[in-house]
Amino acid sequence: MPPDLLPPTGFFVPGKAACFMYRTDSSMVLVEGLVAAPGLEREERSQALDAVILACCEEAKRLGYKLAMAYTELDSVVKRVERMGWTHAGSNNHLIVLPL
């Protein structure tokens, strides 16, 4: 993804994981761009992903947002965030875009 498409609010464990928060003009934020560096040990990867997700949610709450939403096709991500209190609200996600 080109850097100019990323939002200014991002959370990083340097060299390990990243997650971004897209702010909206409603009470909802979109959590996207969850990535982890390849080659990490399973536990190291898990801790880094948990850290960036939690940081994103804490910032959203601090800013007054009431709902965080994310899209994924990965069952592992669904299981990870369900441990953090998220609710699986749908299935068969599709990404659609329109260049402007």
β-strand partners of 36: 17
pLDDT for res 76: 87
pLDDT for res 94: 66
* Predicted TM-score of the model (pTM): 0.86
pLDDT for res 65: 95
Dist. CA 42–CA 31, nearest whole Å:
22
Cα Rg of the chain (Å, integer):
14
Name the fold adopted by 3-82: Aminopeptidase (3.40.630)
Per-domain residue ranges for the chain? 3-82
Tokens found for residue 25: 């003009």
From first to last of its 100 residues, the chain has per-residue pLDDT tens of: 788 888 999 999 999 999 999 999 999 999 998 999 999 999 999 999 999 999 999 999 999 999 999 988 888 888 899 999 988 887 676 667 667 7
Q: Are 11 and 26 in contact (CB under 8 A)?
A: no
pLDDT for res 95: 67
